Structure 1
């Protein structure tokens, strides 16, 4: 069955400039966050709904159709009952991860605070930007497993692999981790918040890898309160 034709862009910039062309593709609300939340691997529609609180079913369907048509995502259908459809980043959208990292770093430097009232909290939303945020020395390589104990009693695992100056992330435990870092959701909020208070995180293993990962995804020298 052919994929639905996505609607035309509602507000194209219609300007012959590379940044305007880029924003024509990724400037819509939710598009970059969908790229972020697929950085760790393919997801189903319902999984994207879960990690993107606030997006309606129709908004998500429209964005995914548009992104598939624009070559930012692939859609893989499986003959299963119930039907299963996975969405995955293409090479084009993988190359947006450093852009997302730069945007996140700017947010850490200039807009970062403790959680605001009403904001959804998902530690994974911060960690998924790791491939764009972490800039490790080429001499440093290793695997870090980060575990977040949620208030509902479930534990989320994230594996960040650092190698040759780059980082990748998977949302799964790591049997071969060089370092394991764990804490409650509240502990991680303290660690990744503007004060970078990591005292309550439990770390076992290679401290150097732990430092590279936590420095990469956290606020090291927040400037949000500094005069512009």
Structure 2
């Protein structure tokens, strides 16, 4: 568990299976050989399953096992620690992967009363949009990377607005909320570092 990439791979597979090239894309800095070696080791350790498809070019999907899903609270605890002690405003040339932050959310314990589905839209620097669905039930939250016409609420904004909303100031001035305002606000409140600190003290 202690190597540089294992928990990041767990985090980045939380929304479902991914192909090798997709993992490479969401894990900047990992070499092809490092990723191949780490995935092989995680499959051997029972943390991942590998599914091969007879396609041209060949396709291989990696997915978390139940054993790996038991690590999600560890990922959430590290995300909490980072938000509390290591968060700093991004440098002008630095890009923050909001998706990576959101993929840490399923490891967080949320208030039991938080119940509903929220679609999150992140407008990236390149102008394209990435959508996520956070579904909160009984103190847990699941994440999917898709759109959700059935969502109770929607929260949308540019990357920089999400960085501010998820950072220590928890500023939501540039986020647009539609649908069930109460559910959207409660989810944002639960994800804010200040809310995490209060929950730890309680």
- Structures share a fold, TM > 0.5? yes
Counterparts of 1:107-186 in structure 2 under 5 Å?
A: 107-116=82-91, 119-137=94-112, 139-186=113-160
Cα deviations by residue, 1:180-221 (Å, 9 ceiling, x for unpaired): 000011111221122111111000122232123223333226
Normalized per residue, which structure has more helix? 2
1-side partners of 2:116 and 2:72: how far apart? Answer: 20
- Structure 1 regions of 5+ residues with no counterpart? 1-25, 224-228
Asked if the contact 1:181/1:201 (under 8 Å) is kept, the reply is yes
Q: Does 1:104 align with 2:75?
A: no
Q: Paired residue for 1:207, among 178, 181, 187?
A: 181
Q: Paired residue for 1:52, among 13, 27, 37?
A: 27
Q: Does 1:65 align with 2:40?
A: yes
Asked if the contact 1:75/1:85 (under 8 Å) is kept, the reply is yes
Asked if the contact 2:190/2:196 (under 8 Å) is kept, the reply is no
Asked if the contact 1:192/1:219 (under 8 Å) is kept, the reply is yes
- The structure with the largest alpha-carbon Rg is 1
- Structure 2 regions of 5+ residues with no counterpart? 198-202
Deviation at 1:48, TM superposition (A): 0.4
Provide TM-score, normalisation by structure 2. Answer: 0.92
Asked if the contact 2:121/2:156 (under 8 Å) is kept, the reply is yes
1-side partners of 2:196 and 2:73: how far apart? Answer: 20
1-side partners of 2:116 and 2:194: how far apart? Answer: 21
Q: Does 1:41 align with 2:16?
A: yes
Q: Paired residue for 1:82, among 39, 57, 60?
A: 57
1-side partners of 2:15 and 2:100: how far apart? Answer: 11
Cα deviations by residue, 1:61-112 (Å, 9 ceiling, x for unpaired): 1110111111110000011111110000000010111111111111111111
Runs of 4+ in 1 over 6 A off after TM superposition: none
- Aligned residues, how many? 197
Provide TM-score, normalisation by structure 1. Answer: 0.82
Deviation at 1:141, TM superposition (A): 1.3
Asked if the contact 1:77/1:84 (under 8 Å) is kept, the reply is yes
Asked if the contact 2:9/2:23 (under 8 Å) is kept, the reply is yes
Asked if the contact 2:114/2:187 (under 8 Å) is kept, the reply is no
